Amino acid sequence: MENDLYEEITEAPETKEVQNDPVSPETAPPKKNNNFIFILILLLIVAGGSLWFWKKEEAKKEAVSKTTEMPPVVVSDMVLKASDFPVTLEYTGQTKGFREAEVRAQVGGVLKSKEYREGQPVKAGQVLFRIDPAPYRATLNRNSANLKQAQVQADLAKIEFDRISSLYSKNAVSKNDLDNADATYKASKAAVDSARAAVRQSQIDLDWTVVRAPISGLSSKEERSIGNLITLDAQGSLLTTIVQADPVYVEFAVPADEHRINEMLRSAGHLRVFPDGISVKVALGDGTFYDKKGKIDFQDQFVDPSTADIRARAVFDNPGNRLYPGQFVRVYVDGNYIHNVISIPLRSVLQTSSGPIVYVLDDANVPAVRNIKIIKTIKNTCLIEEGLKEGERIVVDGVAKILPGKAVKISEKQEHKAASGDKTEGDNAKN
């Protein structure tokens, strides 16, 4: 039994080995080759898919970059040129009569008549008003009578003096009698002179009852109507006003700061005067220009503290009184110029924290930033002192869209205009 048990035990492992190795040695190698091929195919598929996905993403990126790429900015340019730039100074002015006279009464009384048409030209010496002369004529008559009386008394005093003198020469009267006669005679002569002066004053007062024009010019409306009592105070004596308007003044004010800057430019040699000198023209309220030119005949040498301006005045010929005294006009002072300066449009300049700049173009139309120094800005034009040279090109329109270093495109409209201009110049040269 023990042997049988031993046999069973020894045989069991063999049975177990047979059960644990169901694959025969002939079939095992082909299964390993199939797994390797499967893995290789799987790797190839994954690699191909990754390559395809990468190429697809690159194509998308390239398409996006193509769609987001901006076209070049379209601008207009100009070629810089230095020349003498005329400077016209503009101010607000007001016309004023060459002479202005207030017609005032020299004597009081009732205004009897007016002998001119209001608003019409009058001549010097022409009768304008008449004041009631009766009181002054009566005073003249009374003083004339006093003069005659004084003259009679002077004649009697002269006779008495001569008689006393004759007696004194014969020692018939005393020296005191002679002196008294002499004093009486001299007093009578003084009384005559006083009476004569009173007569003269009375005649002047009577003459002043006729009010005449002191100058020739345009008359204004009457300040006192017929029948009013004329007094000699400032308000009651004014009768009318006469203005001489040919020639006519135009008064204007120059801002003190502008005057200072212009004088600095003149001292530095930038601001000069044309050989014809300074002239002035005026524009009326509707914008039309007066056809006569004027000359500056006065300018203050100090600043008016109430307005911070310097007063100036020009004089114009005014035939026919076409400029009316008191009207407002625009004053244009011509004759100044900036010598040999480069001028550019104001819209081509950008203001930055480091000062004004412009974009300068090279031959490839690539803009570069250039700092400039401005002498003076006149309306929409900047006059350049430093930073630009004659012959360079700058961007005029489109400066706000420029990226420095990125080429721009010149406006086709401008190129066409330039080409047309070249062609026209060529045709003119041929002709």
CATH of the domain at 379: 2.40.420.20
Report whether 252 contacts 92 (CB < 8 A).
yes
Considering the domain architecture, whether residues 148 and 253 belong to the same structural domain is answered as no
In this structure, are 113 and 234 located in the same domain? Answer: yes
Measure the CA–CA gap between 263 and 89, rounded to whole angstroms: 13
* pLDDT score recorded for residue 281: 95
Per the CB < 8 A criterion, the answer to whether 261 and 233 are in contact is no
Residue 377 sits in the same domain as residue 326: no
Roughly what angle, to the nearest 10 degrees, separates helices 175-208 and 134-169? 160
Instruction: Tell me the backbone φ, ψ of residue 327, rounded to 5 degrees.
Output: -85, 150
Q: Is 238 exposed, middle or buried (0-12, 13-18, 19+ CB in 10 A)?
A: middle
Same domain, residue pair 227 and 260: no
What gap in Å lies between CA 6 and CA 14, rounded to an integer?
Answer: 14
CA distance 302 to 311: 8
From 335, 331, 314, select the one nearest 272 (Cα to Cα).
335
| Whole-prediction pTM | 0.64
Q: What is the extent of the structural domain holding 81?
A: 74-85+341-419
Task: Say yes or no: 165 and 201 in one domain.
Answer: yes
Q: What is the pLDDT of residue 80?
A: 94
pLDDT at position 378: 87
Q: Is the dihedral of CA 307, 309, 311, 314 positive or negative?
A: negative
Provide the sign of the torsion angle of the four alpha carbons 322, 323, 326, 329, taken in this order.
Answer: positive
Is 424 part of any domain?
no
Classify residue 35: in a domain, yes or no: no
Asked if the structure places residue 60 within a domain, the reply is: no
- Residue 16, number of CB atoms within 10 A of its CB: 10
Is 412 found in the same domain as 328? no
Q: Do 151 and 192 belong to one domain? A: yes
Does residue 361 fall inside a structural domain?
yes
Extract the tokens encoding 288: 């039309």
Contact predicate 100/244, CB 8 Å: yes
Same domain? 314 vs 228: no
Domain boundary, last residue among 242, 265, 293: 242
Distance CA 38, CA 15 (A): 35
Count of domains in the chain?
3
Q: pLDDT tens track of the chain, all 431 residues?
A: 444 444 444 444 444 444 444 444 444 555 556 777 777 777 777 777 777 777 777 777 776 655 455 688 888 999 999 999 999 999 999 999 999 999 999 999 999 999 999 988 999 999 999 999 999 999 999 999 999 999 999 999 999 999 999 998 888 888 998 899 999 999 999 999 999 999 999 999 999 999 999 999 989 999 989 999 999 988 889 999 999 988 999 999 999 999 999 999 899 888 999 998 999 999 998 889 999 999 999 999 899 999 999 999 999 999 888 898 899 999 999 999 999 999 999 999 999 998 999 999 999 989 999 999 998 888 889 999 899 999 999 999 988 888 888 888 888 765 545 444 444 444 444 44
The answer on 109 and 238 residing in a single domain is: yes
Q: What is the pLDDT of residue 349?
A: 93
Both tokens of residue 208? 């002043």
Within-domain flag for 62: no
Residue 18 backbone phi and psi in degrees, to 5: -65, -35
Whether residues 104 and 203 fall in one domain: yes
Domain-located, residue 146: yes
Instruction: Tell me if 355 is assigned to some domain.
Output: yes
Predicted local distance difference test score (pLDDT) of residue 379: 85
Q: What is the rounded distance in angstroms from the CA atom of residue 95 to the CA atom of residue 314? A: 9
Same domain, 115 and 214: yes
Taking the C-alpha atoms of residue 400 and residue 347, their distance in angstroms, rounded to an integer, is 10
From CA 44, how far away is CA 54, in angstroms rounded?
Answer: 15
Q: 321 with 388, same domain?
A: no
